[in-house]
Amino acid sequence: MPYDDLRSFLETLDKEGQLLRVTDEVMPEPDIAAAANAAPRLGDAAPALYFDNVKGFTDARIAMNVHGSWANHALALGLPKETGTKEQVAEFIRRWADFPVRPEWRDNPPWGRNTMDGDEVDIFRVLPLIRLNDGDGGFYIDKAAVVSRDPGDPQNFGSQNVGIYRVEVKGKRRLALQPVPMHDIAQHLRKAEERGEDLPVALALGNDPVISIVASTPMKYDENEYEMAGALRGAPAPITRAPLTGLPVPWGSEVVVEGVIEGRRREIEGPFGEFTGHYSGGRKMTVIRIDRISYRTDPVFEHLYLGMPWTEIDYLMGPNTCVPIYQQLKQDFPEVQAVNAMFTHGLVVIVSTKKRYGGFAKAVGMRVLTTPHGLGYAATVIVVDEDVDPFNLPQVMWALSTKMNPAGDLIRIPNMPVMELAPQADAPGIVDKLIIDATTPTGSDRRGNFSNQVKDLPETGEWLTRLHQLAARR
Ligand SMILES: [Mn+2]
């Protein structure tokens, strides 16, 4: 059953025992971020956190860690909370086939009831802002769906974009936003600046959980995120027009912030503790002028802690990073079996594949590096045989231990693009990339001694079932 907004999802999490209400009074800092930092360590069924008794605020409602466990991620997709990681990725792949599903336009969004315009805009009166990591340069908004359109092709629904970017609060009506050059909003901004224009944007906060998933999915430039949300939800995504900019925004959001990225203006933003487990320093970033805020009468501030993995962001961006790379590889290489790009947003990618001929696995590894996401993220690609499960790390380690000979299996490609946040890059944005071929050589590639691989005994599968049954009866 799809959710039309954050609240109905929080209700389901509550019913499923996946929402922990912290009712004791807490300090805004460091308690809320520290609790969200700790929450995923409760394991695969870690709950979301809900705070409404925050010292110094009379009217704060803050939801943290909403996507921060495999159980919550499963519920977001409408799956039973026990659904395993691999099964969730497999189901994601199946639903991807339904793309595109046209959204449903609705009127009277619940966030239309309260507004602030122009000089009366004060974001501090709407959001109970808190800092996340102790070295952050300020308050951040890091889970908003940011909507923009291509200024050269404004009517094209496909090239309209919904993405999550880091946003720093700089003042009552000023924000800073980081557009990574590999992301769609950077292309929109470049076109606007070439025309000497500002870029209108809408930031939707507090959303149906599938909106956050599609907004952080590396889709192709002309693929529309709402049409993917419809495929993942199994029902059209409810959207509406933002009143000032006319941009398509989720109907069910808690808060919608509208304004413009001011063309050709940059100001210092940061530092910010990032998903890489490292801080970015202060850098010159784009500036948003807020012209209007619309919000529900009792808005819930949905926020996300990130830092040393694993945190909520690793669950949020896990399956949705694997699936597009899998789909894109599969178009040219149907031999590809599975892709695990869940580590640090795919800075490492593990691919299992059958091989057509000698050298094939290396070619598959090269292709990963030129997928839209691979260009900016994949720094290391590990390729394994089709009988190795990329989600089973002991199996991957076995392949690395026994199949990989550095003499012929390490391919290093110098001076490749990577997002500037990658800490290992010496000059930010440029890194050497590595393909590790941990597959069994085949065809004309005759290296190594692999003729006698031990196989499972034929009866092992039968015994696994039998042992499960015996163990369950104990
Ligand atoms: Mn896009």
pLDDT at 230 over 70: yes
pLDDT score for 180: 86
Contact 101, 38 (CB under 8 A): no
pTM to 2 decimal places:
0.96
Catalytic-role residue among 274, 302, 459, 462? 274
Query: What is the Å distance from ligand 1's center to 185 Cα?
Result: 8
Is the Cβ–Cβ distance between 230 and 236 less than 8 Å? yes
Per the CB < 8 A criterion, the answer to whether 378 and 346 are in contact is yes
pLDDT, tens digit, 9 for 90 and up, residues 25-45: 999 999 999 999 999 999 999
Distance 153 CA to ligand 1 centre (A): 14
Q: Does domain 318-438 have CATH number 3.40.1670.10?
A: yes
E strands within 134-173?
Answer: 140-141, 145-148, 161-163, 167-171
The span from the CA of 417 to the CA of 375, in Å, is: 6
Domain covering 6-314 assigned CATH 2.30.110.10 in the classification? yes
Report the C-alpha gap between 173 and 194 in whole angstroms.
25
pLDDT on residue 363:
97
Nearest to 202 by CA among 103, 290, 105: 290
Distance from residue 453's CA to the centre of ligand 1 (Å): 45
Domain ranges of the chain: 6-314, 318-438
Question: 160 CA distance to ligand 1 centroid (A)?
Answer: 7
Residue ranges with CB less than 5 Å from ion ligand 1 = 161, 184
Judged by average pLDDT, the poorest of 142-151, 196-205, 446-455 is: 446-455
Average pLDDT, integer, range 146-163? 96
Structural tokens at position 21: 């209400």
pLDDT tens column, 243-282: 999 999 999 999 999 999 999 999 999 999 999 999 999 9
Predicted pLDDT at 1: 67
Q: Which of 70, 61, 54 is nearest to 16 (CA)?
A: 70
197 is catalytic: no
CA dihedral 161, 164, 168, 173 (to 10 degrees): 40
